[in-house]
Structure 1
Amino acid sequence: MKLLEILNGVFDALPLWRFQLVGLSMGGALAIGYAAQHPDRVQSMVLFEPGGLGERLDAQFVTWLYIKMPGMLRILSKSYVKKDRTAVRKLLDTSYVGGSTPTDPDRLASILMDEIKGKFDCRENDMDEWQLDGVIGPFRLYWNLLDQIPRISCPTLWLRGAESKLVKQSEMERAVQLARESGQPAALTVVPHAGHILPLEQPEVVNPMVHEFLLQTAK
């Protein structure tokens, strides 16, 4: 994947030769892919609900058809940019946060509103091109990392929001089991009162766990 090549180029240019990775969602998926390709460079990883753990979405074909309809994502972007803070809060609740109780919901809404406005102003689609072309197919997800997880050769901490609607508990458990097959420690922690974006929903709970893990696994 081109993004992994870019990521490796960034590390080379900094230069960083041995490091720890922390990733959320697609960032977590990139971390898994990178660690599988470059096991000698990654000391440890914290993975917040990484993408690429499932074979298909619940409504796979409908989702694929929706995003492939000409102009549909631009229409979606236009509808999002018209939403006020109350509507954005509702969008967060239904799509990301679920039944969680984030410590600072207004901050979450502000972050999402900035993202929506930025994409609209730059005439970007609601989803990035690499996601549209390289991730979602008509009958399955193209970006499936299950075969790469056993190649990870570093300790991993996997974190999931208990109220998440995007990554299933069963998917996380299967991924952790595959990671353990590499012979390295792999732990799964489920964070109460949090959804998919748990680092922003429960930072006072998550940050100390991440900090402690990174300290323990630093070499």
Structure 2
Amino acid sequence: MMEQLIVPVPNGHLRVERGGEGPPVVLLHSGLTSAGMWDPQLDALAAEHTVIRYDARSHGRSSTAHADYRNDEDLLVVLDHLGIGSASLVGNSMGGATAAAFALEHPDRVDRVVLAGAGVAGLEFRDEFLLGEYRRMDAAKEAMDADAFVEAFLRFGVDGPHRQPSEVDPVVREKCRLLAMETVLAHHTATGTMRSPDVLANLERIEAPTLVLMGELELPDLWRFAREAQRRMPNARLESVADCGHMVNLERPELFNALVLEHLVR
């Protein structure tokens, strides 16, 4: 059973969950989804760790941002509120960017890091497939078409450039659709902008042992970052998971859990 908490942050609040016992691990979700994306990880991690997960601002059940904010600063507030000195961080996509920014800014508060399909501040997106879906999202937003907006997200955030929707596990795709739709409907009035330090320019300064975990079918831009992270971060190693896209933790949960647990005690 996860304990339910509300943690105040400047100009808002975060819905936080905590469960299990042992060294703390924080699960940081992708953009447009919410903490629910980590459901397949809870039991495996909570058997040996204190697990914390929460909805970022303008996501899930947390408050809508109407002022600029930084996800890494919100993470610091969560750790301080819970009385946690240092923790391991597991982040997917946007959550990986948060983990990397936090490890850069607060190295003494980080034990180990897992970056799953992460892109970080400073990374230039060039892939035409991704840019095309971004244009579809912009058009859907202009038309106030939530279904089209979420479908464009699913194309790059779940399917990826190498698969059609019909080739993806429908249970995984539907879970992501529901999480994203919840976020879109609850937070479409957000006006605050998410800020971040330039992580890409400072990868050499992130010294925490880091597992860079990538689906084989991930976006080319994110693979470009993964290889750069492996090359430039002092203690990073790269693992590829076959037949997966962006949501490795949902498509291959047992393997994902095993790789994360192994890294946390490595």
TM-score (norm: length of structure 2): 0.60
Counterpart for residue 109 of structure 1? 173
The answer to whether residue 89 in structure 2 is matched with residue 21 in structure 1 is: yes
Deviation at 1:30, TM superposition (A): 0.6
Preserved contact between residue 210 and residue 236 of structure 2 (Cα < 8 Å): yes
Counterpart for residue 258 of structure 2? 208
CA RMSD in angstroms comes to 3.6
Preserved contact between residue 97 and residue 195 of structure 1 (Cα < 8 Å): yes
Q: Could you tell me which of 100, 116, 121 is aligned with 1:32?
A: 100
Per-residue CA deviation, residues 121-168 of structure 1 (Å, 9 max, x unaligned), is 32617x98535xx58xxxxxxx74212321112111101111112644
Per-residue CA deviation, residues 40-86 of structure 1 (Å, 9 max, x unaligned), is 110110110211276422269x77x95997x85153643438x9xxx
Counterpart for residue 179 of structure 1? 233
The residue type equivalent to 1:179 in the other structure is: M
TM-score (norm: length of structure 1): 0.72
Preserved contact between residue 159 and residue 168 of structure 2 (Cα < 8 Å): no
Preserved contact between residue 103 and residue 202 of structure 1 (Cα < 8 Å): no
Distance 1:144 1:19 in 2: 22
Identity percentage of aligned residues: 25
Counterpart for residue 156 of structure 1? 210
Counterpart for residue 193 of structure 2? 130
Moved more, 167-176 or 152-161: 167-176
Counterpart for residue 41 of structure 1? 109
Counterpart for residue 239 of structure 2? 189
Distance 2:154 2:135 in 1: 21
Preserved contact between residue 216 and residue 241 of structure 2 (Cα < 8 Å): yes
Distance 2:167 2:252 in 1: 6
The answer to whether residue 182 in structure 2 is matched with residue 118 in structure 1 is: yes
DSSP 3-state at the match of 2:201: coil
Distance 1:11 1:94, change over 3 A: closer
The structure that is strand-richer by fraction is 2
DSSP 3-state at the match of 2:239: strand
Counterpart for residue 158 of structure 2? 96
Per-residue CA deviation, residues 172-208 of structure 1 (Å, 9 max, x unaligned), is 111111112xxxx211011110111111111122211
For structure 2, the 5+ residue unaligned runs are 1-68
Distance 1:174 1:46 in 2: 15
Counterpart for residue 248 of structure 2? 198
Query: What is the total number of aligned residue pairs between the two structures?
Result: 193
Moved over 6 A (4+): 100-104
Distance 1:165 1:39, change over 3 A: same
Deviation at 1:20, TM superposition (A): 0.6
The structure that is helix-richer by fraction is 1
Distance 1:13 1:94 in 2: 35
Counterpart for residue 38 of structure 2? none
Counterpart for residue 21 of structure 2? none
Higher relative contact order (CA 8 A, sep 6+): 1
Preserved contact between residue 118 and residue 222 of structure 2 (Cα < 8 Å): no
For structure 1, the 5+ residue unaligned runs are 136-142
Distance 2:92 2:247 in 1: 8
Preserved contact between residue 126 and residue 221 of structure 2 (Cα < 8 Å): no
Counterpart for residue 139 of structure 1? none
Preserved contact between residue 21 and residue 31 of structure 1 (Cα < 8 Å): yes
